[in-house]
Structure 1
């Protein structure tokens, strides 16, 4: 079921959303000082391409630098990407088949706003690396 949802997701919004994250990542990496945000953006792009079956967890030990970095990300890129998720969710929610996709889109908003200090893990993993 996850594979089918991921394929439908990819066709009906996932690819364009991931493309937005890739563009943000490239722009961040061009500036050199924003490479950490670029890496986070590329990581989220992969998650946005294939979200079903994976989840977001907090990284242990992510401290004050993550908070400061998230503030910078929010101002320059996060809210634009979150708006993309909201717009896509509204369009997907118009049909009954699109409602699960719209819900998944809304679940992606927190990581689009505050990506640093988070990690993406396989939902099926019995013991994720950060849950010891």
Structure 2
């Protein structure tokens, strides 16, 4: 049993990209579904599908690669806030990922969103991960 399901999610995606897989299956939870939706909206993954197979269900994520060079859209995906050390950011201390080219995914009181969306809504929250 793993203690950090978000880190497990990110590791499965990272490993699938390194192995050049097209689709990766991940055990589902509400926070993982929201992270998947943000990755899809920002163009880091091609598609996703939520399957309710058992009580928990699974998420099937279709990874995105450049059609000619086969370079993955997600170059780096890292966990920011860990169970042992949570990282929170207010509106003024929002992290800039790759000088604005990447995104930070935050869990706020208004839901899971990117750092730019949180800044527009004037909310802070827990920094879950960085993607670029």
Both structures adopt the same fold (TM-score exceeding 0.5): no
- Greater strand fraction, Structure 1 or Structure 2: 2
**Which of the pair has the greater relative contact order for Cα pairs under 8 Å at 6+ separation?**
1
Q: Which has the higher helix share?
A: 1
For normalisation by structure 1, the TM-score amounts to: 0.29
